[in-house]
Amino acid sequence: MLEKGLKSTVKGLESLGIAHAAEVNWNLSPAELVEEALANGEGTLTETGALMCDTGKFTGRSPKDKFIVKDSKTENTVWWGDINIPFEPAKFDALYAKMIKHLEGKKLYVRDAYAGADERYQLHLRVVNTQAWHNLFCNNMFIRPTEEQIKKFNPTFTIINAPEFLADPAIDGTRQSNFAIINFSKNIILIGGTGYAGEMKKGIFSVLNYTLPHEHKVLSMHCSANVGEKGDTAIFFGLSGTGKTTLSADPHRGLIGDDEHGWTENGVFNFEGGCYAKVIDLTREKEPQIFDAIRFGAIVENTRYIPGTRSVDYANGSVTENTRTAYPINFISNAIEPSVAGTPKNIFFLTADAFGVLPPISKLNAGQAMFHFISGYTAKVAGTEVGITEPQTTFSACFGAAFLPLHPTQYAEMLGKKMKENQVNVWLVNTGWTGGPYGVGSRMKLSYTRAMITAALNGDLDKVGFSQNAVFGVSMPNSCPNVPAEILHPRNTWSDKAAYDAKAADLAAKFVKNFEKYADFANEEILAGAPKVNVNA
Ligand code: ATP
Ligand code: MN
C-alpha cells in the first residue's frame, strides 16, 4: 500500500483489516485536500477560495437509515424505537467485511482528530474516507491535533465512510442502499450510500450523547454556546433552523461552539472544532462573521454560482434549502480555544414558532423550563406544495431527540439538577413569526432577536417589568432596549385578536397532547409549567 502524509506510529489501517488500498493519504493539509478534491472532480473553487461540493442524492441526514447495533452493551440502555433503530450484530460484521473489501484498490483519505475539547472526555477519532472533501470536512469539523499528537495518535473510535458503496437491503439488513450504523461495542460507525457529510458529524454526536451521560455522568446537549467578557457562559438550545449557529456568532462574545456541547461539574465544552452553518439567503450585512468565514479551507455544500461567475448565489435554493458551510472554528475571529468555558448563567431555548403566538422573548420558571426542554418545540413552515399554508408543529425532546440514544428524561433530569444547583436564568426565544402566522405575519427581525438576547445577557431585562402570557404562563418583558415595545407581547401584533387566541389555544393543546407520553416523568412543578389549554373557556 502506498502511504503518504503524516501517519501515526502507534496504529495503522491493518487494525481495521485494510491492507490493500491503492493509496492511503494520512492527515493531509487543507491545501492538499483541496487539490485532491479538485483533481478528483469532487468540487470547484469559489471566488473567495472556498471548496464548493455537492452531496449528491442526499442533501440532509437520513434519520430512517440510522441504526444502532443491538447487543449486550446497548440492549438495555438504548431507548429503542423510530429514532434508535436496532441492527443485528452479525449483519454489522458482514457489512463491515463487505465495506473493507470494497475499499481494496481504492485511494483513501484518513483523518485523525478529537471529539470533545475537554481532554477528560475526548474521543480519539479516526475517519477513513473515499472522498477528499469529506476528509477536509472532518478536518474542519472535529478538533485538530498537533503534528506531535498525530504521531502518537491511538484511535479509540473509527468512522468508515464510503458514499459510493451501496448496501443491498435484502442481504445487508439495511432499509435501503444508504445507511449510518453505530456499533458501541466495536467503536465504529459505518456510513455508506450517502454523500451528506453531516452524517459523520451527527454520528459522533450520537456516540457522545450515549457515552457521556451513561458512562461519565456528563450532560451532552444539542446547543450552541458563547461566553461574555466577564466569563458568563450562555447556551442556546434549539432544533434545526432556529438560530443556534446564527445567534452564537456574536462579535461581543467569545464563541465556544455552534451545535454540540457537554456540561461537566466545571462548565461547558465543545465537542467539535468547527461550525456547520446554514447559508441559505446568507448576507454579509446580517451575518458578517459567517459570511467572512467562507474562504480558503472552508467548504460550501449544495450551493450554486451566479451564472458566469464564481460568486456563490446564496439566495439559490434549487438544490436544497439546506445549503451549508463547514469551517474550522478559528475562522471566526472571536472563537475561544480550547473551546471550554464555565457553568452557564443563561440558557436560551430557541424556537421558530411559525404560528406567531409565542413571545419573542420570555423568562421561564423552573417548571416551565423543564416542560419546554422535554417538549422541544419548533414549527416548520409550509412546504412549497400549492394550497398548503398551515405550518407544522415539531416536538423533539431535549431539542434534539434525533441524536439521543438514551431516553430523553435522562438528559432532562441531569439538566434540571444542574439548573437548580447553579441558579441559571432560562429564556424562551421565538425566532419565528410575529404579527400573525406564516403567510400573514413576518419572521422576527434578526437584529431584534439579537437585541433581546443581548438585553437578557447584560442584565437589562432585570430592570424592566414583566407580564404573564395568559396561555403559556411565561413572563414577557414589557420593554427591551433597541426593540419596539409593541412586538414584545405577541397578541398586540395580531390585528385579529380572536384569531390569536384561537391559534394560541390550539398550540397549547398540541403541547399538552405531546407531553402525555412523559406523564411518568412529570411532577407537579413541571406540570404547572405547561400551557393552559382552557384559558379562554
Ligand atoms: P442546525 O441545527 O441545523 O445547525 P441552527 O439552529 O444552527 O440549525 P441556524 O443555522 O442558525 O440554525 O439558522 C437560522 C436561520 O434563520 C439562519 O438562516 C438565519 O439567517 C435565519 N433567521 C432569520 N431570522 C432570524 C432570527 N430572528 N433569529 C435567528 N435566525 C434567524
Ligand atoms: Mn447550526
Local mean pLDDT, 10-residue blocks, the chain (537 residues): 96 96 98 98 98 97 97 98 98 98 98 98 98 99 98 98 98 98 98 98 98 98 98 97 96 97 98 97 96 98 98 97 97 96 98 97 97 96 63 96 97 96 97 94 97 98 97 98 98 96 97 94 92 72
> Is the preceding omega at residue 145 within 30 degrees of 0, hence cis?
no
Please tell me the predicted confidence (pLDDT) of residue 521: 87
Ligand 1 pocket: which residues have CB below 6 Å?
238, 240-247, 259, 277-278, 280, 431, 443-444, 446, 449
Q: Which residue CA neighbors atom 21 of ligand 1 most closely?
A: 243
**Cell numbers at 38, concatenated:** 479538485
Name the nearest CA neighbour of 370 among 244, 521, 210, 507: 521
The residues near 524 (Cβ < 8 Å, ≥ 6 apart) are none
Please tell me the predicted confidence (pLDDT) of residue 532: 92
Distances in whole angstroms, Cα of residue 138 to Cα of each of 10, 114, 418, 520 = 21, 10, 32, 40
Residue identified by cell 406544495 is 385
Count CA atoms within 13 Å of residue 281 on its CB side. 5
Ligand 1: which of 196, 235, 246 to mutate, judged by most atoms within 8 Å of the beta carbon? 246
* Tally of CB atoms within 10 A around 241: 19
- CA-to-CA distance for 441 and 432, rounded, in angstroms? 10
Ligand 1 atom with the smallest distance to the CA of 286 is 20
